[in-house]
């Protein structure tokens, strides 16, 4: 008898039906994004929006973290295999539309949280890394455990954040700092930077989110929609343009000379070796410790 595969996204509602919980559900892979997760996430957001009883949506992760990004190990270790470089066969030249078409659909799935009629809150524990930060940052509000981490390390090599929310959340200079370095920062640092609403001790995260949604859900659904539309309207044109550019660039980063080198190292030496060469874990720790000391 075949055991049914667990769905990549779970959907639940609170006892009073006013809060929808969308739970990323690939815990053994740190909720890494595969081909099935984005459309299931979009479907869950649409389900919540179609429910007149739901006032707000909480997105969280099952298992040890929120989301570890794209499931890149297999892609990076197998992409070359004598027939492709980076992310596509470039023997007849690089076609940016191939990568754009692939990633645009995922970007739109994640952005369903930004365009949702109902407020969306990301509840982040463990880590929201790379594509996981894309998902968290398109939510309206983020509450993190103070020891959780968020950032986009692939900005160093092999990635560009396709939802393009960094500058809109923290301003140009802090966004540049994060994407020029690829740093991962703690919930405490993210709160201090203004990237998230609040960081709390890990054992208080659930309570903090519940306190917030208990307040939000007392507001009528139509009132919440109007306030969100007014605020989103100030940035959504820019967000749309930024997402087109970042999604094109995401494909180019995987097929640049450095991106191909990264992928070839992943194939020959393993993905973790390529990550260590890219990020230099020892150097990163020393740099972050020194950086904190001069703040």
- Asked, for residue 35, whether it belongs to a domain, the answer is yes
- At residue 78, the pLDDT reads 54
- Asked, for residue 161, whether it belongs to a domain, the answer is yes
Please give the structure tokens belonging to residue 295.
């703040």
- Asked, for residue 3, whether it belongs to a domain, the answer is no
- Asked, for residue 137, whether it belongs to a domain, the answer is yes
Q: Where are the alpha helices (DSSP H) in the chain?
A: 37-50, 72-78, 96-115, 131-137, 166-170, 172-181, 187-193, 205-216, 221-232, 236-255, 257-269, 271-279, 281-294
- At residue 281, the pLDDT reads 67
Higher pLDDT, 82 or 141: 141
Please give the structure tokens belonging to residue 258.
């450095």
Residues with Cβ < 8 Å from 114, sequence gap 6 or more? 120, 138, 139, 140, 163, 165, 232, 236, 239
> How many structural domains comprise the chain?
1
Among 9-18, 64-73, 286-295, the minimum mean pLDDT is found in 286-295
Please give the structure tokens belonging to residue 103.
């990633």
Q: What is the dihedral of CA 36, 38, 40, 46, to 10 degrees?
A: -160
The arithmetic mean of pLDDT across residues 137-156, rounded, is: 97
Residue 275, Cα to own-chain centre: how many angstroms? 18
- At residue 2, the pLDDT reads 41
Whether residue 153 has pLDDT greater than 70: yes
- Asked, for residue 223, whether it belongs to a domain, the answer is yes
Q: Where are the alpha helices (DSSP H) in 123-235?
A: 131-137, 166-170, 172-181, 187-193, 205-216, 221-232
- Asked, for residue 4, whether it belongs to a domain, the answer is no
Whether residue 261 has pLDDT greater than 50: yes
Please give the structure tokens belonging to residue 213.
């949604």
pLDDT in tens, 1-51: 444 689 999 999 999 999 999 999 999 999 999 999 999 999 999 999 999
Q: What is the CATH classification number for the domain harbouring 106?
A: 3.90.226.10
Per-residue DSSP letters for 18-34?
-EEEEEE--GGGTT-B-
**Residue 232 to residue 214: CA distance in whole angstroms:** 23
- Asked, for residue 277, whether it belongs to a domain, the answer is yes
**Residue 47 to residue 32: CA distance in whole angstroms:** 22
- Asked, for residue 33, whether it belongs to a domain, the answer is yes
Burial 43-77 (b: 16+ CB within 10 A, else e): ebbeebbeeeebbbbbbbbbbebbbbbbbbbebbb
Which domain, by its residues, includes 277?
A: 9-294
């Amino acid at each position: 008898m075949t055991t049914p595969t667990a769905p990549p996204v779970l959907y639940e509602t609170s006892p009073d039906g006013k809060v929808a919980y969308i739970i990323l559900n690939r815990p053994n892979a740190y909720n890494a994004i595969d081909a099935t997760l984005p459309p299931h996430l979009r479907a869950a957001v649409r389900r919540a929006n179609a429910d007149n009883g739901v006032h707000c949506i909480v997105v969280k992760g099952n298992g040890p973290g929120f989301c570890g990004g794209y499931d890149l190990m297999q892609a990076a270790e197998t992409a070359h295999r004598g027939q492709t470089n980076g992310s596509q066969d470039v023997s007849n030249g690089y076609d940016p539309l191939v990568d754009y078409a692939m990633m645009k659909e995922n970007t739109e799935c994640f952005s369903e949280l930004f365009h949702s009629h109902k407020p969306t809150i990301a509840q982040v524990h463990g880590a929201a890394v790379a594509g996981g930060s894309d998902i968290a940052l398109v939510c309206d509000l983020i509450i993190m455990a103070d020891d959780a981490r968020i950032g986009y390390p692939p900005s160093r090599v092999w990635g560009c954040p396709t939802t393009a929310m960094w500058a809109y959340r923290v301003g140009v200079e802090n966004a540049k700092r994060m994407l020029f370095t690829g740093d991962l920062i703690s919930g405490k640092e993210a709160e201090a930077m203004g990237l998230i609403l609040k960081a709390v001790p890990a054992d208080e995260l659930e309570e903090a989110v519940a306190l917030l949604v208990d307040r939000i859900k007392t507001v009528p659904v139509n009132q919440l929609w109007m306030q969100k539309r007014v605020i989103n309207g100030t940035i959504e044109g820019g967000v749309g343009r930024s997402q087109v550019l970042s999604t094109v660039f995401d494909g180019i980063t995987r097929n640049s000379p450095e991106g191909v080198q990264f992928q070839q190292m992943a194939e020959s030496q393993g993905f973790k070796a390529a990550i260590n060469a890219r990020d230099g874990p020892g150097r990163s720790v020393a740099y972050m410790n020194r950086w904190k000391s001069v703040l």
